Structure formats: C-alpha cells, structure tokens
Structure 1
Amino acid sequence: MNEQDQLRAAMRATERPYRDSLDLTAIMRDGRRLRRRRRLAGGGAAALATVLVVVGVGIGLRWTRPPAPEQRPVPAATGPATHRPTEDPTPAPGATTSEPPPQPLGDVVDSSIRYGPEQRVFYFVAVDLPAVPGVTIGLVSGRRAAGGRLTSDFLVNDVQGVDRRAGFHQIGYDQSLPPDTRPPVPTFGYFVGAAKRIVGTADGRQVDARLARWSVDPDVVIFWFDPAVLTPGVRLDGIVARDVGGRLL
C-alpha cells in the first residue's frame, strides 16, 4: 500500500454516514504519523546509502600515484687527454696510454717530490703549432720511475706570441677528475728572466715556489709549488718574480 492508499484508508475510517461530517482531528493525526514514517524511511535510506558507499570504497577502490617520468642517464663529462701542444688558452692534461712520451729537451729536473719509487719531474719538449711559429717548446710535469722511464702527466705551452719573451708564461693547474689514479700535479710553469725568487698569492697568503734553471737556456726558470704549501689545483690570485736584489721583474 502506498502513501495515497494509506491516506484514503485513514479518511474512510473517520467518515460518518453523511460526507459533510468528517473527523478532521483523526485525519490530521494519521497524516502526522505518515509524515513521521516517511522521514524515518528517508533517513534510513540515506544511512544505508552511506554504508554502501563506505563499504564500496573499502573493498573496491585503490589510489595509485602516476608513474614517475623515465630518468635518462646523464652522460659523464670528459676532458682531453693528449700529448699534443695546447692550442687554446686552457692547458690540457696529458696521458701516456696511446703514444710514447715526448723526448725531453735538455735535463730533466727532479722536484724532490716522491710517490713511492717515482719522482715528480719537469722537462721541456718540442711542440709544433703551425699557426703560432714563435712557440716551439712546452713544459711537462711528469714522473720518472726507478728504471728511468718517464710518464707525462701534464703539458703546458703558450698559445700566442713567443715562448722566450721575458716574463711569466702559461701556468699549469691540476685538472684531474675521479676516478683518475695518478698523483696530483703541483702548480707549475716557467719564467724568462733573472728571477731569483717567485712568490704566488692564494687565499690571501703568499707562498714561495721552488726554482730550477733550464740547462738549454739559463734565462728560462722552471718553477713549481710544493703540494704541502699549495694544494694542487688551487688557482693563484697573483704571482711575482724578484731578482737577486729583491726587485720586481
């Protein structure tokens, strides 16, 4: 029986023999009962719907994150490794895996720095820069084994002008990157002139270089900084040369 049938039944239950004599009080009472039952039924339906939704979420849905974008490997940066003369302002480290080391010009200078049985040494080699005919020599920082075999680690040379002009020339800084296993290269270079003392400035302090004259040309002074006083790779803020009387050159 629907709500309309229930209302008609309630009205018929209060009817008198004559239609103009209705029990309005009974009709209104039954109507209020029907409205209460309707509200209760509606509330129960809503509660049931809520339960069904909760149960549905609990057993039927699962949140997932979108897949992360594919990560492509980043190629590792590589640097040059060659014995060829430097043709740009940035000196390049050398290696000895693909060609024999260049032959020294003049004496090989022992730095007194040791790596086990090997010595840190410096020596000049011939270079060929067709575009810069005034540059014919480069300075190598290498190692000498107990048997005399030389290993070239780093070569620096001028990239313009003349390699015997007075003053400082290219300075070599260690540029090794992991997993390079060779010993670190001390900061080094050469000066042309009557230098008796060479002093570099780094991080606000002054450090003295060690000197040796080239056997082929005594006006050419090879210098290097001991790793104990200047960490290899640290750039100098300035560098000066002084003669035997302490005057700047």
Structure 2
Amino acid sequence: MNDLDDLRDAMNTPDFSPKPLDLGAVMAAGGRLRRRRRLAVGATSGLAVLALLVGGAQLARPDGAQPVSAGSPGTGVNVTPVEPRQDGAFGDVVDTGMTIGGGPRLLWVTELEDPALPDTGIGIAVGRRDAGGGLVVDVMSNESVGSDRAPGFHAAQAPMTIGSGPSPAFGYYVGDAAKITVTADGKKVTARQATWSEDPSVVLFWFTLDQVAPGARLGKLSAHDRDGRRLPAGNASFGVG
C-alpha cells in the first residue's frame, strides 16, 4: 500500500485528521508507471518497424516467389542470363518440345568447377543449336549455397525474354518426383520432366510458355511422388535473371 492508499483510507474514517503527504513517494510511483508505459510503446513500435520491413520485402516480390537477382548472395541460386556461347552437355540433351528460331529449344546439364562453390558441381542450361550443331547456352542456373544434390528443388529459373526469344521456366529436382507443379497467375500447372541420364535421382523439369509466360506471378514449386505424397521442397523459389 502506498501513501495515496493511506490518504484514501484515512478520509473514509470518522476521526480523519490530515497528515503530511509524502509527495516524493507519489512522484516516484508515477514515474515508474510512466516508464512502464514508455517501454510498452517502444516494444510495440519495434514490432511495427519489423512488420514494415518484412512488408517492404514482400512488396518488392509481389508474387511471393522470392525472385533474386543474378549472383545475389545468400539466395541459394545463381541465375546467369548469359551472352550466347558454346558449351558442352553433361549427359543427354533434352528436347523441350518448344522451338526457338525455327529449331528446338533444348535443356541440358553442364559441369561446373569453382573453388568458391565446393558443393556445386552441376548447373542447368536452356539453349539451342547453332548451324553447325553445337550447343548455344541462352540461360544457365546453378546453386550457390549448399549442396547441389540435397533433396528438393534446385536452380529454378523463371521465364523471361532474352535476345534469342522467350526462355521457359526450368530447373531440376533431386528425389523421386513423379509430379512437379506450380501456381502461375492463380492457376496450377504441371511441369514436363525428364530423368537426367547421368543420375536417375535428378529430375530435369520445365514449363512450356503457354503454361508459364514471362512476367507470370509464380508461387513456390511443389513435388509429389507416385503415391501423391508431398516431397521435400528444398529451394522451391524461382530466380529471375
């Protein structure tokens, strides 16, 4: 009980006789109350700032797909729209069924060797063949954080328009994925896929341009096995070059 309580009780007694009030104690009590209120407001403000920062990041990525710029650190994906160049394939070359410049749009795995990426030995490329039959890379994507063979999605690249024409959404999955889907502009679509010739646990996948067009709002990828069970997601977001 403080001095204010004493005063209130005394005033309610028949033989009330005023006594000096300890103003210092009253001020100290009021000061403690004000400090508690300031701390509460400060904590609330901190949460509001955090929410604004998170909201700002989401505004920069309105489709929720967490797109990244080429070479952005910590994203887990190194997406490289490259100048057309010659490159060899590691394993079989996959015909996507789409055409570019009158020829087939192709997908293949490339070997990588970079001391800065000790856990990444492969990348995935989309491109075409030149007049002499050589492979020309248009877009290449690879992991930049963690193992490139960890279960889940890897190196997923959103569709975009490049110098040679539109490039489809593509990537690869490590695991027994029988079905790969994504939501594009609010509609769920199923990827086409092919098992990599050099490792049957690696599934290459792509979406045709009529399924997922450049600029489409993309959700995160999902994979299911033959029994419909959902598989590990890994890095299920798309990169944007």
TM range (shorter): 0.5 to 0.7
Paired residues, number: 159
Partner of 1:123: 108
For residues 75-109 of structure 1, give each alpha carbon's deviation from its aligned partner in whole angstroms, at most 9, with x where no partner exists: xxxxxxxxxx957445120122xxx5221100000
Residues 159, 212 of structure 2: 8 Å contact kept: no
Letter in 2 for 1:119: P
Identify if the C-alpha distance between structure 1 residues 235 and 103 changes in structure 2 by more than 3 Å, giving closer, same or farther. Answer: farther
Q: Can you give the 5+ residue segments of structure 1 that lack an aligned partner in the other structure?
A: 1-84
1:94 and 2:82 aligned: yes
Residues 132-147 of structure 1 mapped to structure 2, 5 A cutoff = 132-145=117-130, 147=132
Q: Report the CA distance between 1:212 and its aligned residue.
A: 0.4
Partner of 2:183: 201
Partner of 2:98: 113
Q: Report the CA distance between 1:152 and its aligned residue.
A: 0.6
Higher strand share: 2
Q: Can you give the 5+ residue segments of structure 2 that lack an aligned partner in the other structure?
A: 1-69, 232-241
Residues 144, 151 of structure 1: 8 Å contact kept: yes
User: SS at 1:184's partner residue?
Assistant: strand
Residues 197, 209 of structure 1: 8 Å contact kept: yes
User: SS at 1:148's partner residue?
Assistant: coil
Residues 226-241 of structure 1 mapped to structure 2, 5 A cutoff = 226-241=208-223
Residues 117, 146 of structure 1: 8 Å contact kept: no
Higher relative contact order (CA 8 A, sep 6+): 2
Residues 151-170 of structure 1 mapped to structure 2, 5 A cutoff = 151-170=136-155
CA RMSD of aligned residues (A): 2.0
For residues 101-151 of structure 1, give each alpha carbon's deviation from its aligned partner in whole angstroms, at most 9, with x where no partner exists: 221100000101113531111111112231220101100011124652211
Letter in 2 for 1:93: P
Q: Report the CA distance between 1:181 and its aligned residue.
A: 3.6
CA distance in 2, matches of 1:120, 1:195: 23
For residues 210-239 of structure 1, give each alpha carbon's deviation from its aligned partner in whole angstroms, at most 9, with x where no partner exists: 000100001100000010111034242121
User: SS at 2:91's partner residue?
Assistant: strand
Q: Report the CA distance between 1:172 and its aligned residue.
A: 1.0
Residues 110, 122 of structure 1: 8 Å contact kept: yes
CA distance in 2, matches of 1:165, 1:226: 26
CA distance in 1, matches of 2:196, 2:133: 19
CA distance in 1, matches of 2:111, 2:199: 14
Residue among 227, 231, 240 paired with 1:245: 227
Letter in 2 for 1:135: T
Identify if the C-alpha distance between structure 1 residues 212 and 161 changes in structure 2 by more than 3 Å, giving closer, same or farther. Answer: same
Identity over the aligned pairs, expressed in percent? 40
Identify if the C-alpha distance between structure 1 residues 186 and 168 changes in structure 2 by more than 3 Å, giving closer, same or farther. Answer: same
Residue among 144, 151, 156 paired with 1:171: 156
Question: TM-score, with normalisation over the residues of structure 2?
Answer: 0.61
CA distance in 2, matches of 1:94, 1:181: 10
